[in-house]
Amino acid sequence: MSSRLDLIAIDGPSGSGKSTTAKRTAERLGWSYLDTGAMYRATALALHRAGVELAETAQVKTILDQININQEGTSIFLDGENVSDAIRTMEINQMVTPVSADAQVREAMVRQQQRLGQRGRWVVDGRDIGTVVFPEAVSKIFLVASLRVRSERRFKELSDKGILTTLQEVAEDLERRDLADRTRAISPLRKAKDALEIDTSDRAVSEVVDLIVSHYEHCRTLP
């Protein structure tokens, strides 16, 4: 146990239920929840507002050095402003994949995530948590779901926030992001060798949480 971090790493493609499941798991265990995807979204929003392109590496570094991203509960703050809704628009959806694949951005975010992970007990979700950020996590989970289910979930999420789009547009966006996440050169989306894969397509959130907690309880007893 001494060489492992007492946290739960949850990875998977967009719409697989990572955020909802991670939040509920953290609540069940009384732990803190870290939404790494929101950190990349907040960074994408900051770059967009500043009119800075990823190719402008010096300006990107300046932005990364200056911005302050915090998470309070399930709310995300960028320089003191609650941007929880602003980072979930279709525009940011399309920006976040290249931003999260950028080497400079990724290095800065991973460093910040690892610092947080050393303090306290966390349920962390993302796309490279169990493979890159916290390979020493006690428990690693990889969530999957069908494209149809993932598209319906994301469409409902956007509709509930008053964001106008179509189910087809959401499905096409997810397919693009899936391909980009799997094929990017830096930290591609992949399942850790020792991760438990859970298909959330036809499972209630409570059932998925039960499986995750059970897996954690088993893993923490291993040498």
Question: pTM for this one?
Answer: 0.86
Number of H helices, E strands in the chain: 8, 8
Res. 49 pLDDT band, cuts 50 70 90: very high
d(CA 222, CA 185): 33
Q: Which domains does the chain have, with CATH numbers?
A: 5-215 (3.40.50.300)
Burial string for 9-18 (b: 16+ CB within 10 Å, else e) reads bbbbbbbbbb
* pLDDT tens, residue by residue, 121-144: 999 999 999 999 999 999 999 999
Measured CA to CA in angstroms, residue 29 lies from 81, 175, 210, 213 at distances of 29, 33, 11, 8
Q: Which of the two residues, 211 and 91, has the higher pLDDT score?
A: 211
Which pLDDT does position 160 carry in this prediction? 92
Condensed to tens digits (0 to 9), the pLDDT of residues 71-123 reads: 888 899 999 999 999 999 889 988 998 999 899 999 999 998 998 888 889 99
Q: Are 78 and 92 in contact (CB under 8 A)?
A: no
